[in-house]
Structure 1
Amino acid sequence: MGSVALVTDSTALLEPEAAAASGITVVPLQVVIDDVSYDEGTPEATPEEVATALRDKRAVSTSRPAPAVFAALYERLAAEGVEAILSVHLSAEVSGTFESALVASRNAPVPVTCVDTRQVGMATGYAVESAARVLAADGSLEAAAEAARSRAGAATSLFYVDTLEYLRRGGRVGRAGAVLGGALAVKPLLGIEDGVIVPRAKVRTSAKAIARLEALAVEAAGEGRVELSVAHLAAHDRAAALAERLSEQLGDQVAAVPGGEHVRCVEVGGVLGAHVGPGMLAVCVAPLADPA
């Protein structure tokens, strides 16, 4: 098969410059603030704007790209000469984005393979990056799709939120809400399991929750080589401190990223931020099954 285009969505937390350099097309999801919809990443829907809106108790929600958006993109890529498309997205259990891509793929002018990573955030990003490496090495679309699925399936996603309220509002809390309920003074520590948000621990204070998050991340890393990232919303100092501690504990076991850091530290976009709320900390541990 000839030229293959790689597509993902904005929740994968890829740096725009890095995505462009790797030939990855990123489709934005939408953040809706006070009934006005913005593409994720625009000045009106930055993480800072979303965090402020949430704190001010304004109406904040999100929406997926419509199938027509993917259809137009697939048509444009085909017109530019690509012969097939690999479209890799966040879990269908928490967003309709994968469904939109799948619907659009059925009438695309070139073959489109859609991958549901069953993950969110950087776990999806790592899956996309693995697929990009396969394609850059002249691997097949099938091999790239399998690399994405395998990388996502091996990743561990963990996150701490100050409150379940924002997840409840968006209907994303799933089993975590049933288990944790409305327990007072519980700081939820959550994870992703087969695409669904699940409880990982009940902790009484934020300090203990973050310590537990750190311990679970180290445990997930095991003894093999991994890529590791820390993400946050409006909690830069806590995220940077956690990234530094994880880097010290795991050392060269963690593969360095461009810029030399061993632990990538990023702020989540407005879409994920709208569902987790200010103060969220997340860790993604992704074993390296392919060359870094």
Structure 2
Amino acid sequence: MARSPLLSRVLAGCTMGATLTGNQCPDNSGCQLWRGRLRRGDDAVSTESCRWEGEMAMSGSLRTGRQSMSAGLGPSRVRIVTDSSSDLLPSHARAIGVVVVPNWIMLDGQALRDGVEITAAQFYARLPHTSTAPYTKPASVEDFITAYQWLFGQGATEILSVHLSAKLSRVVHNAAAARDALAPAPIDVIDSRVSGIALWPAITRAAALAGLGAPLQYIHAQVIAILEHTRLYVMVESLEPLRRAGRIGRARVLLGTLLDAHPILTIQQGEIAPVETARPRERAMRRMRDLVRDLGPLETLLICGTSIESIAEWESVLSEVYRGVIQKTWLGPTQGANTGPAIAVAAVMQRS
């Protein structure tokens, strides 16, 4: 199948097999643990340090570092794929060797590839001036076929493809259709049953394990375990964008016209579900902070927003109850086109 020129440019920009070792970032553009501040107008992050634990379960023991899985067994070449709903910035994806297949952003009659032809900063700068409400289209079956074929051509022996909930988009259906079209190629497609930054911890962990040569079955199990311990909370300014996008699910019970009301949402069983509505905005943020605190000890905490100011404000509120590193990014265009202005937090609870 012919490759689209646009997707070719996307794939060519993905560094396959990039592995972080020790405290090094391969291109200083992003890493698993991001510190510092987002720069306005682009997707760069100033990074003080990056690290990950390359834990490998081999022959019943735990080892760390770049080692083959066992004597006499060559290293696996598993590669990780996701779509742009995961909110991985292009620099971050390149740094950890993840291929992000972009979704379409439909903006005032233009069809733009998320993260390729429009960045989050550009999207939110244009949003207040649009004449029609933006919407999204999922990456196509052909896009995924092209991505998978490219990876196999680059030496991948297996692919793990992780995507947002099938109840929120047809992205995972298209990925599965591409897998079926390429059968019996070893492609494992996971419906994460979450969305946005809730995908981050599982994807970054998968990328780390893949870089260390872990087998597909082990990476799959780790992804599922992390997703089961990840909680997502989102505070939106209005439910109207979600209603227009047809993604409101059970959250429709929160529809109302309260002045300065801010619905807090989560994802349950793969669909958007209401937590409560709080007013004013400051109280809603404190309520989300308390929801995070009540989760107990955390392994990872990530936040995102639709402006530099909202991200900084949200980080300050969470810092009242969380002393660890708070990872930060934009709420990407795929998510923002469906939620409108919002902030979100994803927390991974400690596993026993």
TM-score normalised to structure 2 length: 0.73
Contact persistence 2:83–2:139 (CA under 8 A) = no
2:305 to 229, 232, 238: 232
Paired AA for residue 285 in structure 1: A
| Alignment partner, residue 150 of structure 2 | 76
Paired AA for residue 230 in structure 1: I
Contact persistence 1:8–1:89 (CA under 8 A) = yes
2:243 to 168, 188, 193: 168
The higher radius of gyration belongs to 2
Q: Name the SS for the 2:264 alignment partner.
A: strand
2:141 to 63, 67, 71: 67
Q: Distance in 2 between matches of 1:226 and 1:208?
A: 26
Q: CA deviation at 1:213?
A: 1.0
Gaps of 5+ in 2: 1-74
Gaps of 5+ in 1: 255-261
Q: Which has the higher helix share?
A: 1
Q: Distance in 2 between matches of 1:199 and 1:24?
A: 32
Q: Distance in 2 between matches of 1:142 and 1:277?
A: 37
| Alignment partner, residue 189 of structure 2 | 114
Q: Distance in 1 between matches of 2:219 and 2:164?
A: 16
- Percent of aligned pairs with the same residue? 29
Q: Distance in 2 between matches of 1:242 and 1:182?
A: 25
- Alpha carbons of structure 1 residues 265 and 18: separation in structure 2 relative to 1, 3 Å: closer
TM-score normalised to structure 1 length: 0.88
Q: How does 1:133-172 map to 2 (within 5 A)?
A: 133-172=208-247
What whole-Å deviation, never above 9, does each CA across 1:245-265 have from its counterpart, x for those lacking one? Answer: 3234221xx3xxxxxxx1112
Contact persistence 1:229–1:243 (CA under 8 A) = no
RMSD: 1.9
Contact persistence 1:158–1:283 (CA under 8 A) = yes
- Alpha carbons of structure 1 residues 205 and 61: separation in structure 2 relative to 1, 3 Å: same
Q: CA deviation at 1:127?
A: 1.1
Q: Name the SS for the 1:217 alignment partner.
A: helix
| Alignment partner, residue 257 of structure 1 | none
1:283 aligns with 2:345: yes
Q: Distance in 1 between matches of 2:130 and 2:110?
A: 15
1:242 to 314, 319, 327: 314
Q: Distance in 2 between matches of 1:6 and 1:48?
A: 26
| Alignment partner, residue 258 of structure 1 | none
Q: Name the SS for the 1:172 alignment partner.
A: coil
Q: Distance in 1 between matches of 2:211 and 2:162?
A: 16
Q: CA deviation at 1:97?
A: 0.8
| Alignment partner, residue 262 of structure 2 | 187
Q: CA deviation at 1:65?
A: 0.7
| Alignment partner, residue 19 of structure 2 | none
Contact persistence 2:266–2:272 (CA under 8 A) = yes
Q: Distance in 1 between matches of 2:336 and 2:270?
A: 18
Contact persistence 2:298–2:349 (CA under 8 A) = yes
| Alignment partner, residue 259 of structure 1 | none
